[in-house]
Amino acid sequence: MSSVVRRLGELWRGELPLEIAFWHYAIYYGLIINLAATTLSVALLLWDAPIAWAVIVHLLPLPYSVVTGFGVWRSAGRHAGRRNFATFTRVGVVAWFCFWLVV
C-alpha cells in the first residue's frame, strides 16, 4: 500500500514522466475508476436507491481526478520534450476531468 501512496505523491508533485502521468494515471486508470463509479451510479438509480446515493457514488472518483489533473499539469511544466505534447496533455486532462464530471 505504501508504494501506491508514494506513486500518488510523485504524481501530485509532477515528478512522474508526462507520458506516464497522462496516459497511465489520468486516462487509463481514470477510465477504469470513472467507468466503475458511473456504472454503479446508474445501477443504484435502476434499483430505486435514493438519488443522493447515486450522486455520491458518481462523485467518489473526484479526489483521484483532482490529483491526476494537478499531476499531469505539473508534469507538463517539467516536460523536456515537445511543448505541443505538454499543451495537449494539459488541455486533454481538463477535458477528461470535465467529461467524467458530467457523465
Q: Can you tell me the distance from the alpha carbon of 68 to that of 90, in angstroms, rounded to the nearest whole number?
A: 11
Q: Is 16 left (phi over 0), alpha (psi -120 to 50) or beta?
A: beta
Give the predicted TM-score (pTM) of the model.
Answer: 0.91
Contact 65, 11 (CB under 8 A): no
Q: What is the pLDDT of residues 33-56, one digit of tens each?
A: 999 999 999 999 999 999 999 999
Q: What is the pLDDT of residues 47-85, one digit of tens each?
A: 999 999 999 999 999 999 999 999 999 999 999 999 999
